[in-house]
Amino acid sequence: MPKTYNSRQIHHMEVEARYAPAPAVGDEPDVTPYIRHFPPEEIAALIKRITARVAAGKVVQLRPDTAYLAARALEAYNAVPSRERIVREICGVRGGCRPQCVGCIGKANAIMKLYAGVKLQDEG
């Protein structure tokens, strides 16, 4: 008998598929063998070890799986989503409000200012 899934499991699989790494295309190297899950305590230990070596002026060597994690972290650090994507994510209406409401646009503008490094009024 085939396995059946409840709606929560189906939603979880859809989210996993949405954020799965894109398959290697063209000239991009295939890094899939180096993709693995790092639990939070292991990431905290990596941060501590790397920071200690940097403070001591030493070189940090990374295994491929750790280097891939660092590359993904740098991509996330360097990411600046568009205002439309931010509005879509923060909107409480399923599928996003059409037309986009003023409240969502205002929140998205504030988030875009934070990405740009502009201090908001509440920060002083």
End-to-end CA distance of the chain: 62
Predicted local distance difference test score (pLDDT) of residue 62: 92
Q: Contact at 8 Å (CB) between 32 and 24? A: yes
| Euclidean distance between CA atoms 96 and 92, whole angstroms | 7
* Distance from the Cα of residue 25 to its chain's centroid: 21
100 burial (CB, 10 Å; 0-12 / 13-18 / 19+) is middle
What amino acid occupies position 36? Answer: R
How far are the Cα atoms of 32, 33, 64, 104 from residue 28, in angstroms, in the given order? 11, 14, 15, 37
User: CA nearest 21: which of 66, 84, 75, 79?
Assistant: 75
Query: 48-57 long-range contacts, Cβ below 8 Å, gap at least 24?
Result: none
Which stretch of DSSP H or E encloses residue 99? none
pLDDT one digit per residue (tens) for the chain, 124 residues: 567 778 888 888 888 888 777 665 667 777 888 888 889 999 999 999 999 999 999 999 999 999 999 998 888 888 888 888 888 788 777 766 677 788 888 888 888 888 887 776 765 5
| Euclidean distance between CA atoms 81 and 67, whole angstroms | 24
